[in-house]
Structure 1
Amino acid sequence: MKTPLRIAVLECDTLKYGGYGRVFKVLLDAGADALRMPDVVSSKRGLEISKWDVVNEQKYPALEDIDAILISGSRHSSFEDIPWILKLVDFTKKILEQDRIRIIGACFGHQIVGRAMGVKVDRSDAGWEISVTPMELTAKGKDLFKQDSLSLHQMHRDIVYEYPEGVEELGASPRCSVQGMYAKGRIITVQGHPEFNQQIMTDLLETRHAQGIFNDELYEDGMARAGKHHDGVAVSSAFLRFLLED
């Protein structure tokens, strides 16, 4: 795919710090600079990022105006049959039916892709997976992310239960066996939140603890890992390599 890469961030929830569109722009800029390909793409050239509120406004980009969609995280459950989620699943299916526009998914977005491809998405029997969490990578995961292991911020209790047909496995954690999916020229997804940082994670942990969603033990465990190293930029670079590959 040639630059500029026109990436539409589908915002599936509200988020402080300027929303998912802004935090993903920061992440993608960092990932572009880490590629060290300034003549092709960097934080200063080669990226055109737009954002779309698919929850309240339910607006979507025209397909001829974009090269990729990036489906964000959300507090909502991807398996719910509510109008905006059904519309998002239908839009994702529409993208999957063509061969030019590519799909990136993170957390809820990863699950939406799984649902659109016909596999089970539901609550995990293992419960919440939160904060910086290491995962084991498959051979394909190591190849895509250019490292032998990966740690990412997690904030989910829903999972994709199996890999869709034609999709390569990228990795697994003790609480989630489907941590990433890849199909050349079509999709790349991660269950984690590469766009999160310590501040965002801490805010979420404190809010959900105050709301009674997280008990003391879960909250303290998450807080103890919120500041650990995570590989969000490496994942961002992998996203961009995926978009650039022929």
Structure 2
Amino acid sequence: MRPPLRIAILECDTPPDDIIAKLGRYRDVFTNLLHAAADALGQPDLISSKQGLELSYYEVVTAQEYPDIDNIDAILMTGSRHDSFDDSPWILKLVEFTKKVLEQDRVRIIGVCFGHQIIGRAAGVKVGRSDGGWEISVLPVELTKKGKELFKQDKLSLHQMHQDIVFECPEGAENLGASPRCLVQGMYKKGKYISVQGHPEFNETIVSILVEMRQEQGVFPDELARDALDRVGNHHDGVAVASAFLRFLLED
């Protein structure tokens, strides 16, 4: 593809009020990430935070808004607190839309966490709860050969916030990495999609708020929350992952 890259961001959740007050909605967080990634590519004449990206936004949970795929080049599906394997009407609609995009050969898909799982479900593989339990805060991902090639580094650290996983790569896709509790940390199919189970868009503020909130709600035991908060400020490679997303869109 040649810029401008017309990316439709499908918002699959609304963040807590404390996050909205500090950083905005997930559309805002992803906009900032993609702008940083565009600058990190080091090709300002081609693409940067100032030119080459045309972002649009669609709320798919309540409003169930979707783009006309004739008017975009890619969709980016965000994370969500909801279960990707649930059969709520809005999730089934999202899966069907994703299948429609997978069936054609021009518009490409980027999936993050829940979005990664929706790609897996739409492509016909099992998604569900991990027997290993939660992965939260900054954790290492062991990259495959393809993962090292796409992310342009040998090691990867990403914020995580999930207990659901894709159990195997769809036919024709390549696994990008693994962790002890999640053997499919990312997927790639040339010209079709790229995804990660982690959250390149998250930062210390977002994860701290989510962990503390879920600790108060009793979702995270105190020990798990303390361990996560001890790692929340560690280096993470979110911009490197988002740069790989943009390189994927720029591929012939």
Taking structure 2 as the reference length, what is the TM-score of the superposition? Answer: 0.97
Q: Deviations over 1:64-115 (max 9, x none)?
A: 1110000000000000001000000000000000000000000000000000
2:48 to 24, 42, 45: 42
Q: Deviations over 1:165-189 (max 9, x none)?
A: 0001100011100000001110000
Does residue 209 of structure 2 align to residue 203 of structure 1? yes
Q: Which structure 2 residues correspond to residues 89-238 of structure 1 after superposition, within 5 A?
A: 89-238=95-244
- Could you list the runs of 4 or more consecutive aligned residues of structure 1 that deviate by over 6 angstroms after TM superposition? none
Number of residue-to-residue matches in the alignment: 246
Identity of aligned residues (%): 69
Please provide the CA RMSD for this pair.
Answer: 0.5
Q: Which structure 2 residues correspond to residues 4-83 of structure 1 after superposition, within 5 A?
A: 4-15=4-15, 16=20, 17-83=23-89
What's the offset of the Cα at 1:19?
A: 1.2
Between the aligned partners of 2:191 and 2:169, the Cα distance in structure 1 is 17
Between the aligned partners of 2:165 and 2:31, the Cα distance in structure 1 is 25
Q: What residue ranges of structure 2 are gaps of 5+ in the alignment?
A: none
Q: Deviations over 1:103-156 (max 9, x none)?
A: 000000000000000000000100000000101101100000000010000000
Taking structure 1 as the reference length, what is the TM-score of the superposition? Answer: 0.99
Between the aligned partners of 1:51 and 1:209, the Cα distance in structure 2 is 31
Counterpart amino acid of 1:70? L
